Amino acid sequence: MSEIEVAIVAGGCFWCTEAVFLELKGVYKVVPGYIGGEMPNPTYKAICTGQTGHAEAIQIEFNPIDISYEELLEVFFATHNPTTLNRQGNDIGTQYRSEIFYTNENQKQIAEDYIKLLTEENIFESPIVTTVSEATTFYVAEDYHHNYYNGNKEQGYCSFMIAPKIEKVKKVFKDKLK
């Protein structure tokens, strides 16, 4: 069996990104958390102020034999808006930025090349603002954020914001589903 790899992405609310990536085969674990800020051990309340510098992000443990890093990026870019600075829908603030946190130089190169490809092919009407940064300390979010969508599907935010992303993944990425 291949070594398990780790990918870290921030694409707005981590409830949304976690729910999407939990659907994919080859993904063993998805953990919501905070990365990219200055404050050690941030809390949800602290990062919601936008003052800590952290992004809401997910840490994905995956088997590259079953799903490649580039395939994870394909799903990432298809399920959030990488052209809005510090914003995803009604979620506004630096904590909702679009950012890829690479864990090795290969991931950095793949991410930069993928963004270049999307840009050259004019996939989005506006320029991509997703940044590519070296992963720093990833702080695991509080327990109640874990698997939030699956435990709260009837909640308004989940049914209006997350459910459509799940439906898109099921339609567009059928071959990548568990």
The stretch 167-172 carries a mean pLDDT of 96
- 16 an active-site residue? no
The reported pLDDT for the residue numbered 2 is 66
Q: What's the predicted TM-score (pTM) here?
A: 0.96
pLDDT in tens, 45-70: 999 999 999 999 999 999 999 999 99
pLDDT in tens, 79-114: 999 999 999 988 999 999 999 999 999 999 999 999
- Cβ contacts of residue 44 below 8 Å, gap of 6+? 141, 142, 145
The Cα–Cα gap between 48 and 13 comes to 11
Q: Which tokens is 59 given?
A: 């840490």
Task: Tell whether the torsion through CA atoms of 62, 143, 58 and 33 is positive or negative.
Answer: negative
* pLDDT above 60 for 1: no
pLDDT in tens, 3-62: 899 999 999 999 999 999 999 999 999 999 999 999 999 999 999 999 999 999 999 999
What's the whole-number average pLDDT of the chain?
96
The Cα–Cα gap between 92 and 84 comes to 10
The reported pLDDT for the residue numbered 25 is 97
Contact yes or no for 110/154 (Cβ under 8 A):
no
pLDDT in tens, 118-155: 999 999 999 999 999 999 999 999 999 999 999 999 99
Task: Tell whether the torsion through CA atoms of 168, 99, 13 and 27 is positive or negative.
Answer: positive
